[in-house]
Amino acid sequence: MRRLATFLLAAAAAWGQFKSTVPLVVAPTTVTDAKGHFVDGIEARDLVLFDNNVPQPTQLDYEVYPISLVVAVQTSANSEAILDKLGRSGILFSQVLAGNAGETAVITFSDDVHLQQDFTSDPDDLKKAMRSLRVNGDGGVALDAVMEALHMLREQPANRRRIILVIAEKRVRSATVKLPDVVREVERQNALVYWLTYSPMLTAFTARPKTTNCDKWGKHCEVLPPTALPMDPISSLIVAMQEAYHLTKPDVSELFTKATGARTINFLKRSGLEEAIQAVGAEVHRQYILTYQPQAGTPGTFHPIRVAVRGRPELQARTRAGYWTVQ
């Protein structure tokens, strides 16, 4: 597991090394203490941004920009229990995450990508969109979904913060787009990609009980747990083999979140999902937005960046992985 974690972190850095055509580097930065609590009240003079380990003169943007949020939900057959949980959590996206003046759109993906709800600030629209989520297919084209979300965000006003919240497995089952193309577009838009993820095998046991054998008035029903109809041994073995193969694929959730300075949050139950949404909302509304003009350099050179709090080594500052020079 330690070797795998090391590999994934290295891959995140490597795949986070994408070119930027934007001369101004924007670095949303989250500052937390040793217990993971957000730290407010940090001044511009307290934050030091290092580009290739060299301190840079930066600006701290105090303006509050409205958020354009795209929620991308996996709707494959193994996500049914998650869709049930999301159906009762729609209001959190508009009121907790996007916030005042924010707009939220919803897309779904499995074998392909579908628009569920275009950008809206109406919580009723979002609740309706979430309640209408249905299983559709067996695939998991997460990369296609992220790229579609970026296409939608590209049409939003330039003064809006761009955030993608993916609710899906950690790994991509298939794709029609290439990973480098997606991360280049993420970088170009200075977008944040958060990933709420789960184990399809475990979350199936947290689904609400199903009803069957109802009378003609629908009042008296026999309640069955989600596992009341187990698979036959051969089908179970096939599913287990498919999932084992799927686990050998790269963890794209960590790749995107590490590269953009966001984070991956795992959940199991509905309460965990709602807590994860609230945690993302709290983070994006308490980030420090640092900007600076990078020095001209050799084209194609990757510049890792990091942020530290001056004189406060006990505080942790998290930001994007870096950028490529194109000048």
**Residue range 52-71, pLDDT digits in tens:** 999 999 999 887 888 999 99
pLDDT of residue 31: 96
How far apart are alpha carbons 162 and 190 in whole angstroms? 7
What is the three-class DSSP state of 211?
strand
pLDDT of residue 198: 86
pTM given for the model = 0.79
Q: Which residues of 64-98 are buried (b: 16+ CB within 10 A; e: fewer)?
A: eebbbbbbbbbbbebbbbbbbbbbebbebbbebbb
How far apart are alpha carbons 8 and 175 in whole angstroms? 20
pLDDT of residue 200: 65
pLDDT of residue 216: 47
How far apart are alpha carbons 161 and 150 in whole angstroms? 12
Kindly tell me the number of DSSP H helices and DSSP E strands found in the chain.
Answer: 10, 16
80 Cβ neighbours under 8 A, 6+ residues apart = 135, 204, 207
β-bridge partners, 195: 166, 264
pLDDT of residue 1: 40
User: 103-109 and 67-74: which strand pairing?
Assistant: parallel
Instruction: List, for the chain, all residue ranges whose pLDDT scores fall below the cut of 50.
Output: 1-22, 202-207, 209-212, 216-219, 223-231, 234-246
155 Cβ neighbours under 8 A, 6+ residues apart = none
pLDDT of residue 212: 47
- In tens, the pLDDT along 223-277 reads 444 444 444 554 444 444 444 444 556 788 988 999 899 999 999 888 898 999 9
